[in-house]
Structure 1
């Protein structure tokens, strides 16, 4: 028999199954979203550049003490007294002059020590070669003051060297006695430490002008006229310019005639003098060496000279009297310019120095040799009188100098107590010896020895009225 299925019951089962499945599907769709997982920590490597630090030991030194003068503050502290000198002893400096100055300084130091030194203490001379270079001289000046412990500096030939050393001396308060450097400015700066016993440029420039003005119109033509025969060299040019600067200031006319050297025949220049409307009162021969002697004889041979009331003025070459009379036999009446002490101006010390100097050079000492010798003797004299060798005491003693030395009688009328006013008294007269012997001598007899020549100017040193021949 066939089995019969009950469809209503089966349908009920099917409906219930769908309901359950539907319910399950609804529950799943309405369930909340799951919580997202926590973010992971990711470490990214970072490279950092660090400046390297180096630890180093640094030693900071104290500021160095400026150099100081090391001269003794009292003579009791010193075993010897040191005096410094600066002179030119090599090129490009004027070594020939420097050797003469060094010889004179050496003689002076020996003479001081032979006479007992300075208050019983021996003198030691320390010399440096400037070579004529200001910077080098300034360095040596500081070395003398701060290392060699000198009480003073002497010497000095070149003006630019003198200016440089003067500043160093002033900085350290050490006296400087200038023997030869001529620039007015060296003393015109009025530095307390700086003294000069050689002539200034202005003193040398005024010298022939003042002499000509004092002798007046020789030939009576109503004019004062000087002819300048200048050789074609630096020497001739410098002297020509100097005379043309100063002579007109004293009412003296000038005319320059060039002299071309080398030459033995001076006919052309002599002819120009002969052709002048008025002969000059003086003819200055600005010519060096034996050429000057040849020129003088040719002038005299042409009738130009004392016989026509014209005086010939020559330089120191004419002081070699044997050579002069050999080459200029008609030279009576010739005037000779001399810079520095001469045999008739010096005393016992000057003659003694000249004798010792001749052992070196077999000649009468040049002006700069006299002042080199006297610069050291002057310092020694001041140190003997000073309370102490310290700068200000020694400066005061130098200002009070009143002493006869080899080249003359030294004193300084203008200084701290009596400064020059710059108008009636030029500023260069500060600590300046006023009586430097700038001389005119004259041959008054044929064959006369130069040592016997009379001094005709200036009045302070005059031994005979001038001119002796007119």
Structure 2
């Protein structure tokens, strides 16, 4: 699956394309809707790069590979794309998959700009080959913990599943809440059902439940069960990982999916570029673009600038992380070394806690910024 290298009518037949490998979850068990938004942003940016003359006269081409949220499949895709001669890698949404891709890119000496995955430990050791646009999980989830405390929640439950990502998120929340008078109680969903979660919430006198589990199962059944229990009418349900961002959440839960705060990485106002891109993405997706679509667009905008200024040599591209400065859809993008983060990091993309307005579920309310 490749993005057409140039718009209809453009003639660059004499120029070999510059290829970027794009890792995207497009099928289950991957979060396919997030992958669709990510790919829309990647492809839109690639088409605009080509409309503006490409990379030094050569068309930019995306070599898209579906990771399906499978780390082994992602590793195989990175190997294949490296053999195809791509100048860099872009994309990925799922943190565990991105971690595998980052490790393989580092081993092969292939620049990788991770679009959307947030796991702090994206690599085991510091690397010069990998950079990231999304804020680290510790940055965003601490902001979410501040939101919970500010809303008066001190007894907070979390329905969790075994996963490096969920375990990391729960640890960040607990470490931030505990010194500030908060308590995080974990419910292991391998031992509980959505119905027994309600009993546990009542027994523990929790005022908030965080859904730190996969989507749609078991996240959607948990929300339905809690919403239907009259004893839990006043409880806040939260989803810091961002499940309510996407239209599938609203389609599955209807009005029950509103008023569930989640994290997204958008400013209160987009840049002028972001406003234009939002219009184009809305037309492309036939719905409002999520923050993931903007992450995809910004990824290609950054890589294209690096390829124009440094050429397609992989070592040259990787060496330019600390020198790039690009006006993206959500602000000016520059990369630095951040304590505790082993990759080059944009510190930081804007962070919001938002929810769907119960009175108008297609509208998002900004509840907190950080």
Task: State the alpha-carbon separation in 1 of the partners of residues 77 and 243 from structure 2.
Answer: 33
Query: Does 2:223 align with 1:292?
Result: yes
Q: TM-score, normalised by structure 2?
A: 0.72
> How far apart are 1:268 and its partner, in Å?
5.5
Taking a change above 3 Å as real, the CA distance of residues 101 and 152 of structure 1, as seen in their structure-2 partners, is same
Q: Please give the residue correspondences for 1:281-360 in structure 2 after superposition, counting only pairs within 5 Å.
A: 283-286=208-211, 288-289=219-220, 292=223, 295=226, 304=234, 313=238, 316-317=243-244, 327=255, 336-341=261-266, 344-360=268-284
Report the counterpart of residue 62 of structure 2 in structure 1. 125
Kindly state the Cα deviation for residue 374 of structure 1 after the two structures are TM-superposed: 1.8
Q: Aligned in 2, Cα 1:261/1:167: closer, same or farther, shift over 3 Å?
A: closer
* 8 Å CA contact 2:271, 2:329 repeated in 1: yes
Superposed CA deviations along residues 313-365 of structure 1, whole A, max 9, x for unmatched, are: 466538879999x847xx8xx562233326x3422333333333334543333
| Aligned-partner Cα distance in 2 for 1:239–1:171 | 26
Provide closer, same or farther for how the CA distance between residues 365 and 235 of structure 1 changes in structure 2, counting only shifts above 3 A. Answer: farther
Aligned-partner Cα distance in 2 for 1:185–1:203: 13
Q: Structure 1-normalised TM-score?
A: 0.59
Matched, 1:80 2:3: no
Counterpart CA distance in 1 for 2:168 and 2:88 is 36
Q: How does 1:111-122 map to 2 (within 5 A)?
A: 111-122=48-59
Q: Which residue of 133, 137, 156 maps to 2:92? A: 156
Unaligned 5+ segments in structure 2 are 1-13, 212-217
- 1:194 alignment counterpart: 130
Q: Give yes or no for contact 1:82–1:151 (8 Å, CA) kept in 2.
A: yes
1:394 to 317, 330, 334: 317
Residue of structure 2 in register with 1:377 after alignment: 301
C-alpha spacing 1:203/1:267, structure 2 compared with 1 (3 Å): closer
Task: Give CA deviations for 1:115-156 in whole Å, capped at 9, x if unaligned.
Answer: 33233332111122334444443343333233x332211113
Mark the CA change 1:298 to 1:348 in structure 2 (over 3 Å): closer, same or farther.
Answer: farther
Q: 1:157 to 1:268 in 2, by over 3 A?
A: closer
Change (3 A) 1:144 1:99: same
Distance in 2 (CA, whole Å) between partners of 1:143 and 1:131 is: 16
CA pair 198-188 structure 1, distance change in 2 beyond 3 A = farther
| Deviation of the 1:271 alpha carbon | 5.3
The one of 322, 345, 348 aligned to 1:435: 348
- TM-align CA RMSD: 4.3
Structure number with bigger Rg: 1
> Of Structure 1 and Structure 2, which has the larger fraction of its residues in strand?
2
Rounded Cα–Cα distance in structure 2 between residues aligned with 1:327 and 1:235:
29
CA distance, structure 2, for counterparts of residue 237 and residue 413 of structure 1: 25
Following superposition, the deviation at residue 390 of structure 1 comes to 1.8
**Aligned residue pairs, count:** 343
For residues 264 and 369 of structure 2, what CA distance do their matches in structure 1 show? 12
Deviations 1:148-205 (A, max 9, x none): 3322111133445434433443345331111233443324522111111124343454
User: In 2 relative to 1, CA 426–327 (structure 1 residues): closer, same or farther, beyond 3 Å?
Assistant: same
Checking the alignment, whether the CA contact within 8 Å between 1:112 and 1:380 is kept in structure 2 is yes
Question: Is 1:143–2:67 an aligned residue pair?
Answer: no
